[in-house]
Amino acid sequence: MPTPLFTKVLPITIEARQALSHHSLPLQQLLYSLGVEDAASADSFLNPNYETQLHSPLLLHDIVKATNRIHGAIVNNERIVIFSDYDCDGIPGAVVLHDFFKAIGYTNFTNYIPHRHYEGFGLSVAAVEKMKADNAVVIVTIDCGTTSHEAITRANELGIDVIVTDHHEPEAELPSALAIVNPKLGNYPFPDLCGAGVVYKLVQALLQTGSYPINPGQEKWWLDMVGVATIADMVPLRGENRVLAHYGLQVLRKSRRPGLQHLLRKAKLNQSTLTEEDIGFTIAPRINAASRMDAPEHAFLMLTATNEGEAGAYVDKLEKLNTERKSTVAIMTKEINHRLKEMIEIPSVLVMGNPLWRPALVGLAANKLSEEYNRPVFLWGRDGNDVIKGSCRSGGGVSVVKLMEVISHAFHEHGGHHLSGGFSVHDDYIFSLPELLNNAHTELGSEAIVPLERVVAAELPLSAVFGEVKTALGKLAPFGVGNPKPLFAFTNVSPRKVEVFGKAKEHLKLVFETDAGQLEAIAFFAQPQDFPKEPIAETDMTLLAHIETSFFMGRSQTRLRIVDIL
């Protein structure tokens, strides 16, 4: 029996309907699809509350040790180094702690962000020795450090106290840091904070346990960074994360950071109407471009700049790096496509590499190729330390993790989830990697497949897009992991027009006429022939789509974002 193209969420039960009766019918069904089935849970979910829904930071593992040491360092004017990861979690987190020190007038600190290409992820012995040369007495890590045994041992030898703030999974044995503040340790009620969320809780704890000359509530202005990181790092948007993302977006829409304001103007985004998608598609890629292409400090300095001119210069730099990133990935993809055209038969698993490719970029190319060729793609490059590293993306429902597990002996390290992962390869296996992965695919057979289930929240007529459903979606946002944007099915609908648009005619648009007015459905970087059923004007189809509101160029428009056409 063939796998269904989509499944529908079970209709709401009578009990849940009664419990949620003070909400609209569409909102009741959508809440039920998220597992929210009673009035109290619905009220908590729909009304995030900063004052009542955040747990005490003093419940975090080792938080008292951490705050006591930082208070002492401030009193004694000891050199503190903020060591953060280079991505769109570590950098915003570093900004939060930087802003705290600036706000209280503490100046004997500096920020250290490792170079992705030459230093790699996490706290290293070399970085610790550099910080010692900069007279570090205390190191506070952000978004890393939970597994940095060797580096922390070296710091101890050099007389440096290390305070780890992180959210990554701890191992059975913890490093010998002075304090490890991680919500996955101890009895903290919510384990899923991102790195910036953890350091924000540290700042809350410092303010609660110390006496500093800042206005009550001033720390809420730093929630813009926590919101960006929480959404960009794709942690579950439930519980505390929903609160932090909700208020983070509110603050982001009013943020006074000159760099952010300049970046948004450059991207032609209205700051007052920013959404989680603007973070995912505009803000985060530019922050990440700094570490992928050059030095991550450019992103950090853009976010912390107070001078308009400096902020603008950093934004221009990031914009240039982001453009270079796109260009480099396009060249890489073109080279791969050229190689594929020379093949008599394209293998079930695409495995390619080039020592000149940056490992930080291969995942972006793998993503495009896995979609285009509908099969798993493994790409690798060589980093600044001569290590072969790569990224992989699923295609055709094949789990990349299962493939890597079969040939784990070929990797130094490997990990991820079914849809994407990362790896580093032993030099001895790099030339045999394509054969090994394709053999693994053959050996696993159907066991390699992890079905991609499309769950439809409801079937709707097109005219329903403009009514209570749209209002309900506004109450459920922001969307992300743990709170996915609802998918709707529109059956037996026929577009009046089928168009392609954009400079290179690379995007698809369907135009429908409804009782409530004209409705557009769009798919970026897609052509009519890319779908199981090619859309034809005045011809019936089933459309799977999300409902969204676009604020492009100051114009508000309700439209559909196409997921599939059947």
Domains of the chain: 57-223 (3.90.1640.30), 343-448 (3.10.310.30), 454-565 (2.40.50.460)
User: Is the model's pLDDT at 311 over the cut of 90?
Assistant: yes
Is the per-residue pLDDT at 458 higher than 50?
yes
DSSP designation for 282: I
Q: Are 305 and 100 in contact (CB under 8 A)?
A: no
478 upstream amide cis, omega within 30 of 0: yes
pLDDT of 436 = 96
Whether 3 has a pLDDT exceeding 70, the answer reads no
Compute the distance between CA of residue 116 and CA of residue 122 in angstroms, rounded to an integer.
Answer: 10
Whether 98 and 304 have beta carbons less than 8 Å apart is answered as yes
Q: Quick one: residue 445, left, alpha or beta (phi over 0 = left, psi -120 to 50 = alpha)?
A: left
Which tokens hold the place of 494? 């026929």
Strand order across the 179-181 sheet: 109-112, 80-84, 138-142, 161-165, 179-181
Tokens 């459309």 sit on residue: 543
Please say if the pLDDT value at position 511 is more than 60.
Answer: yes
CB atoms within 10 A of CB 430: 17
The whole-number pLDDT of residue 295 equals: 86
Instruction: Give the distance between the most distant pair of CA atoms in the chain.
Output: 76
Task: Let me know: does 80 contact 70? Beta carbons within 8 Å.
Answer: yes
Whole-model pTM: value is: 0.90
Considering only CA atoms, which of 124, 294, 75, 303 is closest in space to residue 196? Answer: 303
Say if CB 219 and CB 202 are below 8 A apart.
no
Q: What is the pLDDT of residue 28?
A: 94
| Exposure b/e, 457-473, CB count within 10 A at least 16 = b | bbebebebbbeebeebb
Residue 490 CA to residue 460 CA, distance in Å, equals: 6
Please list, in sequence order, all residues whose beta carbon lies within 8 angstroms of the beta carbon of residue 443, skipping any fewer than 6 positions away: 406
Mean pLDDT of 17-46: 94
- Residue 5: pLDDT band (50, 70, 90) is low
Query: What's the rounded Cα separation, in Å, for the pair 477 and 30?
Result: 12
Any idea what the Cα angle at residue 34 is, between residues 488 and 457, rounded to 5°? 15
Nearest by Cα to 286 from 246, 259, 307: 259
pLDDT at residue 211 greater than cutoff 60: yes
Kindly indicate the confidence band of residue 515, based on its pLDDT and cuts at 50, 70 and 90.
confident
DSSP 515-560: TTEEEEEEETT--GGGSSS---TT--EEEEEEEEEE-GGG--EEEE
How high does pLDDT run on average in the chain? 93
* Listed residue (491, 540, 499, 536) closest to 8, CA to CA: 491
For the chain, what's the residue count?
A: 566
pLDDT tens readout for residues 135-159: 999 999 999 999 999 999 999 999 9
How does pLDDT run across 330-375, given as a tens digit for each residue? 999 999 999 999 988 999 999 999 999 999 999 999 998 998 888 9
Q: Supply the pLDDT for residue 39.
A: 95
Residue 2 has pLDDT above 80, yes or no: no
Count H helices and E strands in the chain, helices first. Answer: 19, 19
84 strand-pairing partners: 142
- Average pLDDT for residues 70-79, to the nearest whole number? 98
Mean pLDDT, range 215-241, rounded to an integer: 95
553 — pLDDT class (breaks 50, 70, 90): low
